Amino acid sequence: MTESEFDKIMMDFTNEQIKLLEKLLASSIDDLSDLLLAELKKPDLTGQRLEQVYEAYDQLDAVYATYITKAINQSYKTTISAVYDLLNDVGNNKVDAKLVNTLIKDAIHDFTSATENGRRVAAFYFKISKQELITESQISQAVGQSLLTDGYGYDAKIAVRELLKTRQPVIYDKNALMKRISKDVKDDLRKIKKNLRDDYMQVAYNQAYAEKKYLQIINKNGDIMNFQVDTYAALVSRSRIGDSQVQGAIEVGNNMGAEFFKVTSHNTQTPICKPHESKTYTTNKDIASLNVWQYLNDKNRPIYHPNCQHRLVPVVYSDSQIIRLAKSKGVSDNELQRVLG
C-alpha cells in the first residue's frame, strides 16, 4: 500500500460516515424545525410546544451518541488495518478502549453542549416570542412620564413595567423632563433600557430560526455562533473521526516500530495547515534532538482545524536511512553515534 492509498482510505471512510450522519439526523432535524418555525409564525401560549422542542433536542442527542460511538470504533479499526497493510505486517484489530472511549466522550460532549445551548435559546425565545417589540423611545417616554409625576423618577420602574404589560406609548413634555432629570435618574434610565435586550434578541433569534440554525456555541473568543444541526454535527464528527485516525496511526505505528510520521498532502492553501503538509515528525525524543525531525506533539500533529483533511502516515526508516538523511542536514558523526549508538 502506498501513502496516497492509505490517505484515500482515511478520507473515504470519513466522507462515508458524514453522509450516513446526515441521513440519520434528517428526520429529527425536520421534527425540531417544524416546531421552531411554528413558534416563529404563531406563538404557543400553552407551553406544550416547548416541551416538544426539548424532546426533539433529546432525540438529536440520542441519535448522535449512537452514531458517533459506532463511527469512532469503526474508524479506529479501519486505521489499524490500513497501518498493517501499509507496513506489510499482520496483526489484530484490537482497539485501545480507553483512547476510543475518550474520543467518543469528547465528541458527544461537543455536540450535546451545542444542543443544550439550543434548548436555552429556545426557552428564552418562546418567552419573548409572546411579547411585541418595544422601542427605546417608548421606554424613555414611560420614564419621562414618571418624572413629571413625582420629579425624582421613583415610579420609573413601575411605569416601564406597565409599559411592558400594555405596550402603550406614554406622552411626556420633553422640555420639562430635561430640566428635572438628574444623574441618578440617568443611571436608572440606563438600567431600565436593558429591557431592550429581549427585543434585540428576539430579532436575532427570528433570523437564526428562519435559517434553521438551532444549535449554539460560544467560541474561544467568546463569540456566540449559531449552526444548522447537520453542519455542526458534521464539523464535530469530521474532527473526532480524524482524531481517531491520527491517534490510531501513531499507536499502531509505534507498536510496529514506526518512529516517523508524515503529514499527508493535498496542496492545501489553508494557512494553519500549510506549514505541516508533507512534513515528517518523529515520536523518538532522542532522534528529535538531532534537529532534523521535530518531535510529534499535540501542537504540530493533525487535526489542525475542525474540517481538516490531513492525517498521519507511519514511516519506518532503517538506521542507514536515518544516518543518510541526518548527514544531508549537517548532523555530525558524534551526534549520530550519541543517538543511534
Q: What region does 219 belong to: left with phi over 0, alpha with psi -120 to 50, or beta?
A: beta
Asked which of 112-126, 129-143, 302-316 is least confident by mean pLDDT, the reply is 129-143
pLDDT at 197 over 90: no
Beta-carbon contacts of 274 under 8 Å, excluding residues fewer than 6 positions away, are 268
Calculate mean pLDDT across residues 66-70.
96
Looking at residue 177, its pLDDT comes to: 45
Q: Is the pLDDT of residue 310 over 50?
A: yes
**Residue predicted with more confidence, 88 or 251:** 251
Cell of 31: 421534527
Percent of all residues in the chain with a pLDDT value above 70, rounded to a whole number? 75
What pLDDT is attached to residue 212? 87
Residue pair 119/54 in contact (Cβ under 8 Å)? The answer is yes
Strand partners, 263: 312
User: How far apart are the C-alpha atoms of 76 and 97, rounded to whole Å?
Assistant: 10
All three cell numbers of 299, joined, read 501542537
Mean pLDDT in residue range 296-322: 93
pLDDT at 39: 79
Q: pLDDT digits over 136-153, tens only?
A: 455 455 555 554 454 444
Q: Strand 312-315 and strand 224-227: pairing?
A: unpaired
Residue with cell 431600565: 192
Question: SS3 for 42?
Answer: coil
**Separation in Å, CA 137 to CA 142, 163, 174, 184:** 9, 12, 12, 19
Concatenate the DSSP letters of all residues of 257-320 into one string.
T--EEEEP------TTTTTTTT-EEES-HHHHTTTSSEEP-TTTSSP-STT----EEEE---HH
Q: Find the range with the poorest average confidence among 14-23, 152-161, 330-339.
A: 152-161
**Interatomic CA distance for residues 239 and 246, integer angstroms:** 10
130 or 263, higher pLDDT: 263
What amino acid is encoded at 166 in this protein? T
In angstroms, the CA 71 to CA 120 distance is 29
pLDDT at 271 exceeding the cut of 50 = yes
Inter-axis angle of helices 97-128 and 48-86, nearest 10: 150
- Confidence at residue 79, expressed as pLDDT on a 0 to 100 scale: 94
Q: What is the mean pLDDT of residues 313-337?
A: 92
Give residue-wise pLDDT tens across range 173-188. 445 444 444 555 555 5
